[in-house]
Amino acid sequence: MSVIYILWLRQIKRYVRSRPRIIAALGQPLLFLLALGFGFGPIFQRAGQGNYIQFLAPGVIGMTILFTAIFSGIELIWDRQFGFLKETLVAPVPRTVIMIGRTLGGATVALIQGLIVILICLAAGFRVTSFALLPWAILFMILIAVMFTALGTAIASVLSDFQGFQLVMNFLVMPIFFLSGALFPLTNLPRLLDLATTIDPLSYGVDGLRAALVGIAHFGMPLDTLVLCVIGAGLLGAGGYLFSRIQL
Amino acid sequence: MIKVTNLVKKYGDFTAVNDISFDVDEGEIFAFLGPNGAGKTTTIKILTTLLKPTSGHVELDGLNPAVQHNEARKRFGIVFQDPSLDEELTAYENMDFHGVLYKVPAKLRADRIEHLLTLFELWDRRNDPVKQFSGGMKRRLEIARGLLHTPRIVFLDEPTLGLDPQTRNQLWTHVRKLNDEERVTVFMTTHYMEEAERVAHRIAIIDHGKIVAQGSAEQLKAQTGAETLEQAFLALTGSTIRQEEATSLDQMRNMARMFRGRRR
């Protein structure tokens, strides 16, 4: 337990101490929120879908958590490159415990970023419709954070340097974001796009967030929770397995 | 304490360690010498559970590190050849992190951290982030950290690389003291022959993945008819300089250094 705590604490300390990273990571959601939110707002309104900021904000929160979580997982590559990974891997601690500590730390960082973005959204005019459902929103944020930190760790366990990182960003993380319904409603889509959004795990995260924060749901919260838990557990298992097989 | 029999490690077609065997007794200081790329670090990585051998058998205090990872890991401390500190954390935090991983009780941990940081003259800088440290200070911190949990076996992989004579002297004095007083087994590599001659009870010389000679410094000198260990070493391994290609890791470090605009 104390081992998990110290691993978690390390991630948090690193996060708090890298202020440029915090600010940099907030720039992107801010841009999406302001440029897309206010840019597409009038069209969205005219199409009869209501206020776009209300629709977009949960998506932007989901995006922030996705990117921060994946990046926290991928940070493992830094640890490998700068040698710190060796220090943890020769310690008499089961690798699964190390993986869990790291993942919880990374997920916490992603959660904090998500909470900051909620505040930014509120400042930009976003309004939460039901405060009773706020704990649900937090739950969905945690599920998204854990799931994608585990995915990042799994990916970083098989990459030995940053050569493959762009590949992962462009062919995995970006599609997960753009096909998640963070930016557009999932109704009346062409069949192929509909299929893609249905298999994208972030769709369920964004849908859950949107349901909890503004009461708009596509899949519904029970299904969202189920899918996120199952896929999250699967990715944790896969990440733990791949991490335990690392050789240096 | 350490028993290696017919150990082989291959990376694809390249054989890094080619059928080596040796024993290290409990309480012995054993030096593993060889030119760059001879297979020293690979052997240490196998002994310390970071790599799995292609074939052959390895024993650490009666345990097989390839199978009984965690039991084996409790037995040793290691100072790696390359940096392995978290640069964003302070010196104290790096030590504390290590102590928690090795389950050193809190009170004892604090005492030992203070003792070791004082010994290696880092106590005054304990609350500074490691990224502000010079190369020598980082090295000293790594050494202090490797000794924190009072291991039975200590692996020192070129521990004195980049250290000034004062610190080197301090390190070897401390290592000998540990060895004398606590019977800690030491497995070390170094490029400084006089260090090996000074502290090691026994020496093995490895080249191209094969052990070419084993024995005390005196025996090695007698065997080659050389006057110094350095001459004996050159006689055994030849005088050609070994080529080592920059790994992706080195390239990456260079990039990161440029990116951060930080001088070494």
CA distance B93 to chain A (A): 9
Using DSSP bridges, classify how beta strands B202-207 and B29-33 pair: parallel, antiparallel or unpaired.
parallel
pTM, whole model, 2 decimals?
A: 0.88
CB A166 within 8 A of CB A238: no
Does residue B9 belong to the interface with chain A, where contact is any CB pair within 8 Å?
no
- Above 70 in pLDDT, residue A26? yes
Residue A247: the pLDDT is 86
Taking contacts as CB-CB distances below 8 angstroms, the residues of chain A near B52 are 247
Averaged pLDDT in 10-residue chunks for chain B of 264 residues: 93 90 95 90 92 93 89 91 92 96 95 94 95 90 91 92 87 91 93 92 93 92 90 87 64 60 42
Nearest by CB: B101 against A88, A247, A248: A88
> Residue A223 — φ and ψ, nearest 5°?
-65, -40
Number of Cβ pairs < 8 A linking chain A and chain B: 86
For position B264, what pLDDT does the model report? 38
Inter-chain touch A3–B100, beta carbons under 8 Å: yes
pLDDT of res. B170: 86
CA–CA gap between residue B237 and residue A45 (Å, rounded): 79
CB distance A90–B78 less than 8 Å?
A: yes
CA distance B248 to chain A (A): 7
Neighbouring-strand partners of residue B3: B23, B59
Which pLDDT score, from 0 to 100, does residue B251 have? Answer: 62
**Does B73 sit within 8 Å of A90, measured CB to CB?**
yes
Contact B101 A6 (CB under 8 A): yes
Chain A residues whose CB is inside 8 A of the B105 CB are none
What pLDDT score does A151 carry? 96
Most B CBs within 10 Å, among A75, A87, A163, to test the B interface = A87
Q: What pLDDT was estimated at residue A84?
A: 93
Tell me the mean pLDDT in the region A146-173. Answer: 90
ipTM over 0.90: no
Query: For the segment B113-154, what is each residue's pLDDT rounded down to a tens digit?
Result: 999 999 989 999 999 999 999 888 998 999 899 999 889 999
Q: Does B74 touch chain A (CB under 8 A)?
A: yes
Report the alpha-carbon distance of residue B189 to residue B159 in Å, rounded.
8
According to DSSP, the β-strands at B153-157 and B185-189 are parallel
- The pLDDT assigned to A18 comes to 86
Q: From the CA of B80, how many Å to the nearest CA of chain A?
A: 8
The reply to whether residue A10 touches residue B101, judged by beta carbons under 8 angstroms, is no
Among A171, A188, A213, CA closest to A61 = A213
Determine which of A11, A16, A82, A97 to mutate to test the interface with B (most B C-beta atoms within 10 Å).
A82
Among the partner residues B52, B84, B103, nearest to A83 by beta-carbon distance: B84
In which band, very low, low, confident or very high, does the pLDDT at A213 lie, cut at 50, 70 and 90? very high
Provide the 10 A C-beta neighbour count for residue A186.
Answer: 18
Judged by CB atoms closer than 8 Å, whether chains meet at B88 and A82 is answered as no
CB-based burial of residue A32 (10 Å sphere; 0-12 exposed, 13-18 middle, 19+ buried)? buried
